[in-house]
Structure 1
Amino acid sequence: MAEKLSFDRLDEAPDWVRNYYQIRLDVELRSVKADGFQRLFDRVMRTVHGRGYRDTAALGRLGDQGCDGYLQSERTVFACYGPDPYFRIRGAVAKFRSDLESSVKNFEIPAFMQKWVFVVNYPGTHPLLINEVMTAGVPGLMCEVWSRTDIVDLFMSGARRQALVTEFGSLPKNSKYVGRAYVVPESTQLPRRCAEAAVQLLRARLRCDEYGYRSALAEWSGSVAADPFGALVAQTQLLLGAMGAMAMAGYFDPEKLRVAPLLREAELSRSAWRDDGQRAWNLMMTVLHSVDDAIERKDQYVAPSVDPIGEDIDKLLATVVCGNRLALGLIRLYSRKSGQFETECLEEAWRLMLEIPVMQDDKEHGRHVARIKKTGLLDGI
């Protein structure tokens, strides 16, 4: 039974409750695209505004008239842009202009619409979009751009408890005791819930199961929010398993990574690779190189350096999300090379993930933590 909490809105909740839901939303925002982003935005708005917010649907040739959602109390029309596969500013500017033109054409100002908001699944507001807002020049209409940060801020300040549970689920029992996200757990076992949730997310994606993917994404986001460091350990292990399955079959040399094919299959941009994906990959490679400290490598390859995460929760979450994408890319590459079904390749990676020892005993636990410290992950703790 979920713990009874005495708060009406999320900004009145204990820190550990806020921490859980903020991480969960952040992970989901980083993981959705296109219509999935619009549906997630609808959930956030319903959590904050209840029935005052109306999500909309396109109808045949009429489309959605430039309106992806409507807040009646403020006469505000929302247009969402969750690019697939990744954000391009030219595409965002073009979408801004076309959606604004459609809204102005179809809705009366200010009787129906006095504010128009362009919502983008991007960490911040690009200057070119700010310029579009400043030069829109529609009489009687206020224009704004909301980024991912604005969505999270709105959610954290206005989410109502009852709607919060309905849209984002109840709190796991252990989330109160996880503490700050960068604290190393004392468990010597692979974080099973995090591992299973990460694999289930990939399985639904590979099966093209839209409903299953939504359910898996919610479960995975919840597991990351409840145990962020455990999710990082599990995700690194999954990436290691996916790489190991392909390498053991003779289709891949991790020391000679060709980035472009991997990013294409992972649906990851070059900028995302530079910012966060390379950190996830290098962390996996560092663990690979240090699996047995007693073995002296006789080749020229050495473990790569890893950008420290320290206490930066944003870096940690980005590393987990990009790690999942990279695992997806490896599974797809393995399937193309071997001719096996993608789900069969995933099951092989899952088996290896469970077989590769993370921490077998207290002594091994100490060595494992020492390896993680070498990467700089725990700097500042």
Structure 2
Amino acid sequence: MRGEGFQRLFDGVMRTVHGRNYRNTASLGNLGDQGCDGYLFEERTVFACYGPDPYFRIKEAVAKMRADLAVAVRHLEIPGFMQKWIFVVNYPGTHPLLINEAISGSVDGLECEVWSRTDIVDLLMADARRQPLVSEFGSIPKEAKSVGRAYVVPESTQLPRRCAEAAIRLIRARLKCERSNYRSALSYWSKSVAADPFGALVAQTQLLLGSMAAMAMAGYLNPEKLQVGPLLREAEMSRSTWRADGQRAWNLMMVVLHSVDDHIQRKDDDAAPDVDPIGDDLEKLIATVVCGNRLALGLIRLYSRKSGQFETECLDEAWEWMLRIPVMATREEYQRRAAELKATGLLDTI
């Protein structure tokens, strides 16, 4: 959304979260809105919205932020009326220059912040209430109610969106034994892998990592002491497939685990495993992705058996971990990390 539409949308989101504690404001003649597009009474917080149409340019955003803050400081009493001032932009993330402007623009008795549209979505997902949502945005269409759980990748992560959503949809359809949905999910997943094989590898490694983390954090798995047999039975994977490609998928996931858990004191035998190099071998890459998906399925089934939860509940928990664990975003980042690990003698290039 842009312009006034962005401000109206922001007002709607804030009302679903804060109710009557939030008030949108109006501009009046020559007085304007005095730098206040919205107001939280109890927190004494003033919002200034910026949704440029058609493009977001950081220099113009900084100038707009500086001007809006100056207007608010000039017209609104600090701290009686305004204790916090927040600049809200329709950009996916918060640019460092805007953060710097907020820090430098703070005055005695006034705290300044910047919200991106990622912050708005996070606020809506965490705190919005059902009845105000219906009042602001309408009831859920009947055709949407039958779709089932939606897996949405936040903009704040570098996780490849289509690949991640496709991988988890495929597992969910398999867990629910829905033949038609499985065929549809398989087709969608296959197209996502074909369109972006490396993105599929990143997403699949992250899903396997999230599945492992869900089970491990519940106390049902020590990833350093994997019992392969039970996992392969639940994953419906043969020993030969495990040796050919499955172990590569698992070891790649373990390398990522070690890279995000470097602060943990490990035993000598808990070092990150060597990974069979993939290089430019597309068939090997795709085989790794396929086995990673099957191993994630196996972990979800194991977690369900041990915990007594529904398999779909275990999958949802794995999804939350999948989003929470940092993602190495690009091929260059993977190559850089691989070079670091190679220098330590832990593995050859991935």
Q: Does 1:371 align with 2:337?
A: yes
Question: Equivalents in 1 of 2:332, 2:198: separation in Å?
Answer: 16
Question: Equivalents in 2 of 1:359, 1:231: separation in Å?
Answer: 13
Counterpart selection for 1:263 from 213, 216, 232: 232
Matching residue's letter, 2:280: E
Counterpart selection for 2:197 from 228, 251, 264: 228
Counterpart selection for 1:320 from 273, 289, 303: 289
- 1:243 maps to 212
- 1:347 maps to 316
Question: Equivalents in 1 of 2:201, 2:349: separation in Å?
Answer: 11
Provide runs of 4+ in structure 1 moved above 6 Å. none
Q: Does 1:306 align with 2:275?
A: yes
Secondary structure (helix, strand or coil) at the match of 1:290 reads: helix
Quickly say closer, same or farther: Cα 1:249–1:296, change in 2 above 3 A: closer
**8 A contact 1:358–1:368 mirrored in 2:** no
Question: Equivalents in 2 of 1:264, 1:197: separation in Å?
Answer: 24
Question: Equivalents in 1 of 2:168, 2:244: separation in Å?
Answer: 24
Residues 218-256 of structure 1: CA deviation (Å, up to 9, x unaligned): 000000000000000100000000000000000000011
Question: Equivalents in 1 of 2:180, 2:170: separation in Å?
Answer: 11
Question: Equivalents in 1 of 2:320, 2:333: separation in Å?
Answer: 23
**8 A contact 2:157–2:323 mirrored in 1:** no
Q: Does 1:287 align with 2:256?
A: yes
Q: CA deviation at 1:207?
A: 0.3
**8 A contact 1:287–1:371 mirrored in 2:** no
1:328-343 aligned at under 5 Å gives the runs 328-343=297-312
* Unpaired runs of at least 5, structure 1: 1-186
Secondary structure (helix, strand or coil) at the match of 1:305 reads: coil
Corresponding residue pairs, total: 189
Residues 161-186 of structure 1: CA deviation (Å, up to 9, x unaligned): xxxxxxxxxxxxxxxxxxxxxxxxxx
Q: Compare CA radii of gyration and give the structure with the larger one.
A: 2
**8 A contact 2:159–2:327 mirrored in 1:** yes
Counterpart selection for 2:164 from 189, 195, 212: 195
Residues 44-82 of structure 1: CA deviation (Å, up to 9, x unaligned): xxxxxxxxxxxxxxxxxxxxxxxxxxxxxxxxxxxxxxx
Question: Equivalents in 2 of 1:249, 1:343: separation in Å?
Answer: 16
Question: Equivalents in 1 of 2:334, 2:205: separation in Å?
Answer: 13
Question: Equivalents in 2 of 1:293, 1:254: separation in Å?
Answer: 15
Q: CA deviation at 1:372?
A: 4.0
Question: Equivalents in 2 of 1:323, 1:359: separation in Å?
Answer: 17
Residues 80-107 of structure 1: CA deviation (Å, up to 9, x unaligned): xxxxxxxxxxxxxxxxxxxxxxxxxxxx
* Unpaired runs of at least 5, structure 2: 1-155, 342-346
**8 A contact 1:309–1:376 mirrored in 2:** no
Question: Equivalents in 2 of 1:296, 1:268: separation in Å?
Answer: 33
Identity %: 74
State the TM-score, normalizing by the size of structure 2: 0.51
Matching residue's letter, 2:311: E
**8 A contact 1:195–1:234 mirrored in 2:** yes
Quickly say closer, same or farther: Cα 1:245–1:226, change in 2 above 3 A: same
Q: How well do the aligned residues superpose, as a CA RMSD in angstroms?
A: 2.2
Quickly say closer, same or farther: Cα 1:332–1:315, change in 2 above 3 A: same
Matching residue's letter, 2:337: R
**8 A contact 1:266–1:325 mirrored in 2:** yes
Counterpart selection for 1:204 from 170, 173, 178: 173
Matching residue's letter, 2:194: A
Q: CA deviation at 1:368?
A: 4.5
More RCO (CA 8 Å, sep 6+)? 1
Q: CA deviation at 1:332?
A: 0.1
Question: Equivalents in 1 of 2:258, 2:190: separation in Å?
Answer: 29
Question: Equivalents in 2 of 1:259, 1:300: separation in Å?
Answer: 17
Matching residue's letter, 2:320: R
Question: Equivalents in 1 of 2:261, 2:218: separation in Å?
Answer: 22
**8 A contact 1:264–1:329 mirrored in 2:** yes
- 1:216 maps to 185
Quickly say closer, same or farther: Cα 1:200–1:188, change in 2 above 3 A: closer
**8 A contact 1:188–1:359 mirrored in 2:** no
Quickly say closer, same or farther: Cα 1:366–1:317, change in 2 above 3 A: closer
Residues 259-298 of structure 1: CA deviation (Å, up to 9, x unaligned): 1100000000000000000000000011111115466645
Q: CA deviation at 1:369?
A: 3.7
1:78-117 aligned at under 5 Å gives the runs none
Question: Equivalents in 1 of 2:328, 2:243: separation in Å?
Answer: 30
Secondary structure (helix, strand or coil) at the match of 2:319 reads: helix
Matching residue's letter, 1:370: R
Quickly say closer, same or farther: Cα 1:299–1:371, change in 2 above 3 A: same
**8 A contact 1:197–1:216 mirrored in 2:** yes
Secondary structure (helix, strand or coil) at the match of 1:340 reads: coil
